[in-house]
Structure 1
Amino acid sequence: MIPPGALDPRRWPLAIRVPLIVAVLVAGLALATGQAVLSRLARDQERHLSELASAFLDGLATAVQPAAARADVWEAFDALDRARTRYGALRPMLSAVLLPDGTVLASAEPRSAPSGTRLPSVIAAQADTAAAAGRPVLDADAATAVLARDLAEGDVPVGRIVAQADIGPLLAERRAVVRTLVLVNGAFALVFAAAGGLLVRHLLAPADLVRRRLTEAARGGRPVPVDETVGIGPEHAALLAAWNQAAAASAEREAMAARLAKEERHAQVGRLAAAMAHEVNNPLGGLITAVDTLSDHGDDPAVRAEALGLLRRGLGDIRNVVRAGLVTWRGTPGTTALAAQDFEDLRLLVRHEVARRGLTLDWQNDLPDQIAVDRTLARQVALNLLLNAAAASPPQGTLRFRAGKLDGGGAVVEVTDAGPGLPPAVEVLLVACDGPPPEDGGLGLWTAVRLARSLGGRIVRLPSDTGTRLVAELPTVSAPMEAIHAL
């Protein structure tokens, strides 16, 4: 099946269109030239025939006019016979002398035009036209020419000379010229078309080379400089030189980008290490002090409670800092499948925090076993959301947790707190967590969002009557992203 548009000449390559245009132009020029040549040849032939006919009629009129005036058949026949021999170049087929009434007085071909008869109507009509026009009447179909001249003495008509000549050689010459023109012009058209195709292909070679290099670059290849000697003119040389400059600039940009990326990674590692060292070092002093206090005054309940609180808060800060560093530099997620028991463990982990803050935990875990989601990352997402929700909920509030299977494969986790809602600066982290960890709160949400994205999922906020309702969608590796479904 022919593709759509394949027959549209505007979509053909220049290597095809230009030779065709050249061939059409050559053919048109050849046609116009041939018509001019044939027209000139026809005029020259008719002029020569008319001159020869005029000489024939002049000589014959002088010889037969006395015989026509006396109606002398034999004298007229003798004059016609001598004229046929003398004017053989005219190739007369029929010559006759007619009386004023149109009957034949004498004929050089008495068998076809006997005396006393009339000429065929076609020849008679052509003779009338030739006599009135003063030039031969040509009949290309019959390959004949009819000549005629009226004879008169003063104003008294005495007869008419009519001759029919064979113009077959003239027409044959015209046909030979036509064949020659067709063959020669056709050969020239083919030669010029072929030469045009080769020339266009040669002219387009630099552009085609650049096109191939652009295609390779578009497919992920690296721009490669080309040989500038391919060009045959200043335009092509400038084109190839521009391409080489672009290829060199692209290679330089790639090298610079790789170098900058490496330097940036090193800088990030340095910043992260410095930040982690600084953040870990801050609570370490307090932790050491708390340990020393417990060693010396551990029997005092008030001192012990205060020291344990300081230890708990310091270790929590260190845990958050280390978690942020792990999220930033974590590699590809693992392949251990997620099970319902993994989330049940989280219930035990957050139980102390929930009890400490006086919250009520509404727990619903409908997650089936063996879901193709990395269990470690999924647990981290859920744990961060739970801890954030617990921290945002006021005392005596309700913390809701829902887990289930995502349509199309994966897990969906919903956590709802009873707090005042997400601050605008923290809510931005749901869509923009590519930067460094936030400094003014939201580290847990920032961590959860980055973990969800590493799994190919996302975290969104849905409307809720009280507090904040966050839903994390964690699809399987091969499953497409689905819309959030409320549990």
Structure 2
Amino acid sequence: MPRSPMTRWIHRLPMTARLSLAVVAVILVTALGTTQIAMQGLLRQVERQIERTGQIYLDGLAAALLPPVIANDAPGIQRALDEALRMHQGLVDRHLFLLDTDGRILARADRVGLPEAPLPKAIAEDTRGDKIDTNDGSYWVWRPLSDDRLLAGERAGALTVVANLDLADYVAERQRLWWRVVVFNLGLGTVCALLGVLVMRRLQRPLDLLTRHLQRTGEAGPEPVAETLIPPHDGENARLLRAYNRMAGAAREREALIARLAEQEREAVLGRLSATLAHEVRNPLAGVLTAVDTLRRFGDRPAARAEALDFMERGLRAIGGVVDATLATHRPSAKEPAFDPRDLQDVQRLLAPQARRAGVALVLESRLSEAVPLAGGEVRQVLLNLLLNAIQASAQGARVTLRCEPREDHLWLEVADEGAGLPGPLAASLERGEAPAPGAGLGVAVVVRLVQRLRGRVAVQAHSGRGTRITLELPFDGGGPADPPPAP
């Protein structure tokens, strides 16, 4: 249900202002309610007094009418009514009636200058009663004319005497009294409401102070309340504000600690990033240096020179890919070339110098004949790290084998060595895709991160003293082999 503009305006006010308005509303409603109750009680008392006065008036009028009624003297009855109109000191009567048993008028007297007034319908319904007519400011009262002397004529209760009295002054005074009481109560309620607002504002002053300081909370945390602003003689509010100051101090210390930890974390991330970047660049750079050495030794041979230059170009592009990936916050490029057989040959050429220096045979067994939809640079980085670790873990004369086989929806790769066996924690990190403990080496951490990005799975078979076999299953991005890359 949509809210009214007044409701929306009230909801936009601060809580302290809404509380003050609520106090004002309660006081004013209470003042108006008590005014109405008091006025109703006063009016009921005045109406009872008027009723008693009307009955007393009818007593006198009945006493004047009884003799001519008993004597069945119609002119005497009229004289009695006219005399009653003429003789008045307090109440002013307007119209007087004597009715028969059928409600017909036997006699009547009207004050000169006043129009004839019709009888109220209530006279025909009730034998006795009264009614205040606020339209003309008059009062109707009636009752049966009864006396023991009328019993003999069997006319007891047969006649009804009716009087219409002038209460215009009373009605006007009642209106004036009602307005005076309303105005007085409204003024008194307004004064009480203002006093209540002042008292509430004074009581809310510590809460307002606390609210302003909370609203000024910045990056450094909540702002403490100055000691000079804490009320010295208000124990409860002073304890509240000092408790807030303790909380604000603790929050600011926590924010400062978080900032220091964030700075340390940034420095650590930068250190790890630099180490990872150096680690990833080192392998292609070694291949480039090997190609330079080949150029120096066989530069006069066109085939060797072309192969070395091509190898150097791919190595430098691999370094560029590592840098681009690092600058892109480890997000793979959408245009990264697919993985193809040349990547396997580059990996073999890059690691051949390390394998020769270690006396390890590096063997490639591949059934890959065309490009597959995988990020070529990332797969190369995974294979370089795994093979480099395998070479370093192998003894002289051992054999390190890389097997590659494209399957229906993924690329199957296996790196096998004859070393001492991968330690259990590192094997578990690879299989669960979790970063290894600090100090375990950057190679495993890089492999875990890249395999997660490639959405691959890793299985490790490590046997102490009998080598390690690491199997990777890398799902294709497009569900099948990719289009062959263009010839360089």
Query: TM-score of the superposition, structure 1-length normalised?
Result: 0.58
Find 1:416's aligned residue among 414, 417, 430.
414
Q: Specify the code of the residue in structure 2 equivalent to 1:241.
A: R
Give, in angstroms, the shift of residue 174 of structure 1. Answer: 3.5
1:163 matched to 2:163: yes
1:146 is aligned to: 140
Give, in angstroms, the shift of residue 95 of structure 1. Answer: 1.0
Give, in angstroms, the shift of residue 351 of structure 1. Answer: 2.8
Deviations 1:380-422 (A, max 9, x none): 66532332355679847433499xxxxxxxxx99853246996
Q: Specify the code of the residue in structure 1 equivalent to 2:457.
A: R
Query: TM-score of the superposition, structure 2-length normalised?
Result: 0.58
How many Å separate the matches in 2 of 1:416 and 1:216? 60
How many Å separate the matches in 1 of 2:474 and 2:226? 56
Deviations 1:233-263 (A, max 9, x none): 4333222211211222334455567778999
How many Å separate the matches in 1 of 2:103 and 2:265? 118
> 1:125-274 maps to which residues of 2 (within 5 A)?
125=124, 128-130=127-129, 136-140=130-134, 143-149=137-143, 150-154=145-149, 156=151, 157=155, 159-185=159-185, 200=200, 203-204=203-204, 206-207=206-207, 209-211=209-211, 213-214=213-214, 217=217, 220-228=219-227, 230=229, 233-253=234-254
Q: Specify the code of the residue in structure 1 equivalent to 2:360.
A: R
**Gapped regions of structure 1 (runs ≥ 5):** 114-118, 131-135, 268-329, 403-411, 474-481
The aligned length equals: 388
Deviations 1:100-144 (A, max 9, x none): 67554542229999xxxxx847264267223xxxxx344456644
Give, in angstroms, the shift of residue 163 of structure 1. Answer: 0.8
2:96 is aligned to: 95
How many Å separate the matches in 2 of 1:483 and 1:215? 51
1:461 is aligned to: 457
2:388 is aligned to: 387
1:436 is aligned to: 438
RMSD: 5.6
Aligned residue for 1:107, secondary structure, equals strand
Is the 8 Å Cα contact of residues 97 and 108 (structure 2) preserved in structure 1? yes
Aligned residue for 1:224, secondary structure, equals coil
How many Å separate the matches in 1 of 2:477 and 2:228? 58
Give, in angstroms, the shift of residue 93 of structure 1. Answer: 1.7
Query: CA 1:54–1:211 in structure 2 vs 1: closer, same or farther (change >3 Å)?
Result: closer
Is the 8 Å Cα contact of residues 390 and 399 (structure 1) preserved in structure 2? no
Is the 8 Å Cα contact of residues 20 and 193 (structure 1) preserved in structure 2? no
Q: Specify the code of the residue in structure 1 equivalent to 2:147.
A: A
Give, in angstroms, the shift of residue 457 of structure 1. Answer: 5.5
Find 1:399's aligned residue among 403, 407, 411.
403
Identity %: 28
1:295 is aligned to: none
Q: Specify the code of the residue in structure 2 equivalent to 1:152.
A: D
Give, in angstroms, the shift of residue 425 of structure 1. Answer: 0.9
Is the 8 Å Cα contact of residues 449 and 458 (structure 1) preserved in structure 2? no
Is the 8 Å Cα contact of residues 67 and 73 (structure 1) preserved in structure 2? yes
Q: Specify the code of the residue in structure 2 equivalent to 1:173.
A: E
Aligned residue for 2:457, secondary structure, equals strand
After alignment, is 199-208 or 62-71 more displaced?
A: 199-208
2:40 is aligned to: 39
How many Å separate the matches in 1 of 2:214 and 2:478? 42
How many Å separate the matches in 1 of 2:473 and 2:215? 44
